[in-house]
């Protein structure tokens, strides 16, 4: 095969050659995002995040799971430095993106470095067309109009619906089309990583599946890393490679997505799956005891 080029002078097919190949597969993935033991306080009083730590490997899809109010959105806003607009602040810990401390950068500086957030609720500019919305995503770029137009065409290839609606006011498009527009707008900034908050919220199941398939395609084709905050645990664990579960501002469980899908507590508390057909008083007591890991 063309890519087998005798690396480091080793003969193709030799024991040493295959040992080198296996080492390359076993090497740990490079981390693009590291959140280290952060605490977040609102209004100098309300402690919302209590020592959250997580990592996203370069080129990975990581799910941040939990019920409403668990701290998922606050975690994403802490990473993207949008907390100050809501009188929030990271009071402890650190956040590193691509090996650099970024917790004191402005949001636009972070976008220039390749990390961007798609907010919950999509937040398209309703009075602008779909194409105008997409072009706002390229605001921080300095590589010229030709490159921006090429990338716009790639967005239309990824989201054919947006090509059809390119001249429509975003406020008059469907929720699914607005979510696609928001993701496409983020892609126009040429990101290395996208923080995506509740991409399935308010959308029909078939649209949710279509969007998650597109995310997986963007991850594979463009190498973009994703951190997804999502209440739809079933869908998130289908597409993510790793997951973190938040409860009351703490990470209470993490692991490979396949492992979390098979965990009995995750099945019962987040996937709505229980082995028992009915619940006795003893079952309920056991449920409460096991749920202490969420405290």
Q: Considering the domain boundaries, does residue 49 fall inside one? A: yes
pLDDT band for 23, please (50, 70, 90 cuts): very low
Residues 227 and 248 in one domain: yes
pLDDT digits (tens, 9 = 90+) for 211-230: 999 999 999 999 999 999 99
Residue 247 in domain: yes
pLDDT bracket for residue 274 (50, 70, 90): low
Residue 33 structure tokens: 């995002």
**73 has pLDDT over 70:** yes
pLDDT digits (tens, 9 = 90+) for 107-129: 999 999 999 999 998 789 999 99
Residue 230 inside a domain? The answer is: yes
pLDDT of residue 276: 52
Dihedral over alpha carbons 283, 68, 73, 42 (to 10 degrees): -100
The contacts of residue 251 (CB under 8 Å, 6+ apart) are: 52, 53, 54, 244, 245
Among 165, 188, 211, residue at a domain's last position: 188
- How are strands ordered across the β-sheet holding 250-256? 115-118, 193-197, 225-230, 61-65, 242-247, 250-256
Q: Is the pLDDT of residue 6 over 60?
A: no
Measured CA to CA, the distance from residue 294 to residue 95 in angstroms comes to 24
Residue 15 lies inside a defined structural domain of this protein: no
pLDDT, average across residues 136-157: 93
One domain for residues 71 and 201 = yes
What residue has token string 């979390």? 260
50 and 70 in a single domain? The answer is yes
| Averaged confidence pLDDT in the chain | 86
The residue with tokens 């690396």 is 7
Q: What is the CATH number of the domain that holds 225?
A: 3.40.50.300
pLDDT by residue (tens digit) across 259-270? 999 998 888 888
Taking CA 190 as the corner, what is the angle to CA 98 and CA 36, rounded to the nearest 5 degrees?
25
Range of the domain at 33: 29-114+191-283
Say whether both 169 and 78 belong to one domain. no
Residue 12: band (very low, low, confident or very high) from pLDDT cuts 50, 70, 90: low
Per-residue pLDDT at 141: 87
- Domain end position, chosen among 188, 210, 240: 188
List, in order, residues 6 or more apart from 235 with CB less than 8 Å away. Answer: 200, 208, 209, 212
* Residues with Cβ within 8 Å of residue 215, at least 6 apart in sequence: 61, 183, 196, 199, 226, 228, 239
Please indicate, yes or no, whether residues 250 and 139 belong to a single structural domain of this protein: no
Predicted pLDDT of residue 275: 57
Query: Which among 168, 188, 208 is the end of a domain?
Result: 188
Angle, helices 205-222/175-187, rounded to nearest 10 degrees? 10
Q: In terms of domains, do 95 and 205 share one?
A: yes
pLDDT above 80: residue 292: no
Of 75-79, 232-236, 277-281, give the lowest mean pLDDT range.
277-281
| 184 and 198 belong to one structural domain | no
Confidence of residue 24 (pLDDT cuts 50, 70, 90): very low
98 and 72 within one domain: yes
Q: HEC string of the chain?
A: CCCCCCHHHCCCCCHHHHHHHHHHHHCCCCEEEEEEEEEEEECCCEEEEEEEEEEEECCCEEEEECCCCCCHHHHHHHHHCCCHHHCEEEEEEEEEECCEECCCCCHHHHHHHCEEEECCCCCCCCCCEHHHHHHHCCCCCCCCHHHHHHHHHHHHHHCHHHHHCCCCEHHHCCHHHHHHHHHHHHHCCCCCEEEEECCCCCCCHHHHHHHHHHHHHHHHHHCCEEEEEECCHHHHHHHCCEEEEEECCEEEEEEEHHHHHHCHHHHHHCCCCCCCCCCCHHHHHHHHHHHHHHC
Res 26 pLDDT > 90:
no
Q: Are residues 117 and 82 in contact, defined by beta-carbon separation less than 8 angstroms? A: yes
CA gap 75, 87 in Å, rounded? 14
Average pLDDT value for residue range 196-225 = 94
Q: Please check the confidence at residue 278 and state whether its pLDDT lies above 60.
A: no
Mean pLDDT over residues 27-42, rounded?
Answer: 90
* Structural domain count, the chain: 2
């Amino acid at each position: 095969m063309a890519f087998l080029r005798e690396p480091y002078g080793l003969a193709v097919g030799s024991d040493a050659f295959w040992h080198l190949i296996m080492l390359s597969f076993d090497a740990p993935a490079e981390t693009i995002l590291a959140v280290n033991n952060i605490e977040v306080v609102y209004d100098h009083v309300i402690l919302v995040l209590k020592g959250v730590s997580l990592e996203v490997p370069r080129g990975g899809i990581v799910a941040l799971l939990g019920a409403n109010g668990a701290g998922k959105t606050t975690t994403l806003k802490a990473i993207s430095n949008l907390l100050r607009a809501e009188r929030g602040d990271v009071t402890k810990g650190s956040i590193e993106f691509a090996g650099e401390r970024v917790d004191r950068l402005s949001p636009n500086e972070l976008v220039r470095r390749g990390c961007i957030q798609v907010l919950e609720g999509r937040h398209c500019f309703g009075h602008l067309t779909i194409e105008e919305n997409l072009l706002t995503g390229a605001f921080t770029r300095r590589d010229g109009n030709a490159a921006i137009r090429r990338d716009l065409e790639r967005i239309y290839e990824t989201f054919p619906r947006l090509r059809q609606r390119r001249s429509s006011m975003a406020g008059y498009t469907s929720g699914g089309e607005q979510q696609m527009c928001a993701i496409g707008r983020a892609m126009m900034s040429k990101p290395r990583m996208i923080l995506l908050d509740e991409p399935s919220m308010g959308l029909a199941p078939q649209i949710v599946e279509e969007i998650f398939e597109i995310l997986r395609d963007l991850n594979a084709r463009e190498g973009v890393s994703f951190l997804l905050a999502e209440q739809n645990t079933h869908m998130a664990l289908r597409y993510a490679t790793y997951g973190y579960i938040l409860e009351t501002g703490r990470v209470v469980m993490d692991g490979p997505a396949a492992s979390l899908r098979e965990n009995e507590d995750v099945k019962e508390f987040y996937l709505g799956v229980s082995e028992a057909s009915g619940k006795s008083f003893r079952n309920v007591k056991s449920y409460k005891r096991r749920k202490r890991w969420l405290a």
